[in-house]
A and B are shown apart, each in its own frame.
Chain A
Amino acid sequence: MTDQEILDALRSIVSEIAGIDEAAIDADKSFVDDLDIDSLSMVEIAMEMDSKLGVGIPDEELKNIKTVGDAIAYVKANS
């Protein structure tokens, strides 16, 4: 998958879970500070990434995923 394909998939997941316009979701956005996503929604996002992208993020790694770009890099490195 290209970065763009992963970003598109993340936009769809994050938009559905957090109700954010897909256009507002970019690689440089922080999940907590920019997108106002709380810890339970972050777990839901990780579950959906596992389901839709086939890449699960272990809990100890999830705390290091600060931005959408971090999530893209994690998927690239682990798919």
Chain B
Amino acid sequence: MSRKVVVTGVGATTPLAGNAKETWEAILAGKSGIRTMPYEWAETVAVHFAGTVAVEPLDAGLAPAKARRLDRGEQLALVCSREAWDDAGAPEIDKTRLGVVFATGIGGITSALAQYDILLKDGPKRVSPMTVPMLMPNGPAAWVGLEFGAQAGVHTPVSACASGAEAVAWGARMIQDGRADVVIAGGTEAALHALTISAFASMRALSTRNDDPATASRPYDTSRDGFVMAEGAACLILESEEHAKARGAQVYAVWGGAGMTSDGHDIAQPHPEGAGAIRAIAAALADSNLAQSDITHVNAHATSTPLGDKAEALALRTALGSHAENVLVSATKSMTGHLLGGAGAIESVFSVLAIRDRVAPPTINLQDQEPGLGIDVVANVKRDLPAGDVAVLNNSFGFGGHDVAVIFKSE
């Protein structure tokens, strides 16, 4: 029997706010964090808008000398991990029992590209010695580990848009396996650049609704036309129940379990019936010792792409059986946009706060739901979760065919 894991702290910096509390308030109020990008290149590329962070890292207490050594994604990871650590009560613990699992989908690509510009303009001798620590995908995990002196292990799963959820799953596993008592688990992404926007646009993956950014992310709507890129970071403090109880920590929610599978189907397209997702959800239920009927709310992956949203709805119907119609399904990317490697982490934070507050957040911009999905989408206005025990399923899928489902439950 593996050890019970609980969530004792949360942190986030997102397009909606500079911390988890205000982000959650904005989510429940149905606000959009999507705007025209404040960059001079924004109108030179196909898509002019994104979810840029509401609070710049330098305005969130990061010292300038520290910030200049960090890629923007690393800066955001540090900001949200400090918040989560304080939220958990800044515990005094044995650092050999503290771990970090922090994901990114892409890594420090904007730093790499900025140094490439310097290489071309000023020559090879001007390339910064911080380039490698800034571009390496394990950089955010490493800096968070250094910040708190973590010595139980520092890890970085990379599975595109499923990365953040994988980080949470592996973080819980570190505690269940006895390698750590406390783990900072999350994900970060700050990859907004003319190249990345152009690259995703070239795949025909992005919404091009330049005339109305705030309504561009519209999961499950018949007029959805692609996902909306965003930046941000989020994390959880995971802790063994024994350790949390011994120090009298607050407990937001209990870790249920995880299922991680792969489609084996296509590099970019989801499996049309969501076969990998179905197996991931089933595995997450089994790992959690829960039945289909125990799931009360789903924070869906639902990125607002025509194929992806439909395949996930099909997967939910199959994986949850006839109970699927009773589950409140929310697509919070309608408000945050898609944080890529941070998505599974911020949506895990939302799942945990949904349990604490017993509420399912809204799915905004949903005026004309695609018929025949067979799921109960929480359209436009938040809804209460039922009384009694609740369990929340958070799905995350990534280019490459990665399927990750994680479950949290009430105490």
Contacts and interface: CB of A to CB of B under 8 A. Distances in A.
What does DSSP make chain A's interface, helix, strand, loop or mixed?
Answer: helix
B129 A40 contact: yes
A18 B69 CA distance: 9
Given A40-B130, A40-B133, A44-B130, A16 B65 contact: yes
Contact of A19 (B65, B126, B128, B130): B65
Interface string B58-100: 0000011110110000000000000000000000000000000
B66 A19 contact: yes
Contacts of B65: 16-20
Contacts of A47: 125-126, 128-129
Interface in B173-217: none
Nearest to B126: A47
Interface string A26-62: 0000000000000011011001001100000000000
B210 to A, nearest CB: 38
Contact of B128 (A16, A20, A44, A50): A44
Contacts of B64: 19
Contacts of B130: 40, 44
Interface string A3-21: 0000000000000111110
Nearest to A20: B65
A51 to B, nearest CB: 8
Contacts, number: 25
Contact of B63 (A19, A40, A41, A51): A19
Contacts of A41: 69
A49 B398 CA distance: 45
Contacts of B68: 16-17
A51 B130 CA distance: 17
A44 B133 CA distance: 14
Nearest to B67: A19
Contacts of A18: 65
A58 B219 CA distance: 57
Nearest to B130: A40
A43 B126 CA distance: 11
Contacts of A50: 125
A16 B64 CA distance: 8
A11 to B, nearest CB: 14
A40 B68 CA distance: 13
Contacts of A20: 65
A44 B69 CA distance: 10
A40 B139 CA distance: 15
Nearest to A42: B129
A16 B126 CA distance: 17
Interface string B110-146: 0000000000000001101110010000000000000
A17 B129 CA distance: 12
A57 to B, nearest CB: 12
A40 B65 CA distance: 13
A44 B125 CA distance: 11
A44 B66 contact: no
A60 to B, nearest CB: 16
Interface string B17-45: 00000000000000000000000000000
8 contacts: A17-B65, A18-B65, A19-B63, A20-B65, A40-B130, A40-B133, A44-B128, A44-B130
Given A16-B65, A40-B129, 13 more contacts: A16-B68, A17-B68, A18-B65, A20-B65, A40-B69, A41-B69, A43-B129, A44-B129, A44-B130, A47-B125, A47-B126, A47-B129, A51-B126
